[in-house]
Structure 1
Amino acid sequence: MRDGFSAWEEVIVLAVIAIMVSVVYQRYRVLRNEAIRTQLNVELSNLKLAVELYRVKNGKLPSNLLELYKKGYLYYRDFRIDKKRQELLDRLNHAYIYDNKTGSVYINPKTIKALE
């Protein structure tokens, strides 16, 4: 009669566990990136609404996105700020792109590339 497991049985079990962990981790990464994309889209919608609200109330577009924060159109808990460069940052610490001539706000291409 034999007690315990042989070395080969243990190696096989560890290999199966490693494969299962890698599959679960890949799925986790996909779901995490989808969640970040959803957050970015919500933040982008909030920025666009804040720009439009600012335009309606003041009759002009804000000069930059940080002006929206300073005037109370955005909350700091929702957005990150780079005080050195005076820019609003997304979840991956890339600056949003803002065209102050048209009022358009875009997600930084670096952020989109990082989520692919």
Structure 2
Amino acid sequence: MKKTISSVLVAVLLSLSALFAVTAPAQAAGANYERCSGGTTFYDWSGKNPKDCKSGVYLMVRDGKEVLKMKTDRPWWEGMQEGYEAAQKWCSENTLTCNILTSVGIAAVMPLLAPANS
């Protein structure tokens, strides 16, 4: 059980680590581009699949703003898939606990997602 929880936590942390990826200074305002960088080398990645960028950091910019930035040495989608599978296995083996935790999680998040009525 500890291994499963650890796997889920690692998957979540990997997906969040993309938020802290280091990139070069931003391009001109209003620019639209995609790039794959490896160290100090930048490759134009416009129109290419982000999964094919394996050299360091994938960056997508639209209207001069970063839309997506992720480390590609171990892409987040691989970690998320492993975490999802581990969570499904754990929930199938611990149905009651999983249902309780899911209900508590939904109850905690729903007020944050509700539209403001003021």
Q: TM-score range by the shorter chain?
A: 0.3 to 0.5
Q: Which has the higher strand share?
A: 2
Q: Which has the higher helix share?
A: 1
TM-score (norm 1): 0.35
Larger RCO (CA within 8 A; separation ≥ 6): 2
TM-score (norm 2): 0.35
The structure with more radius of gyration: 1
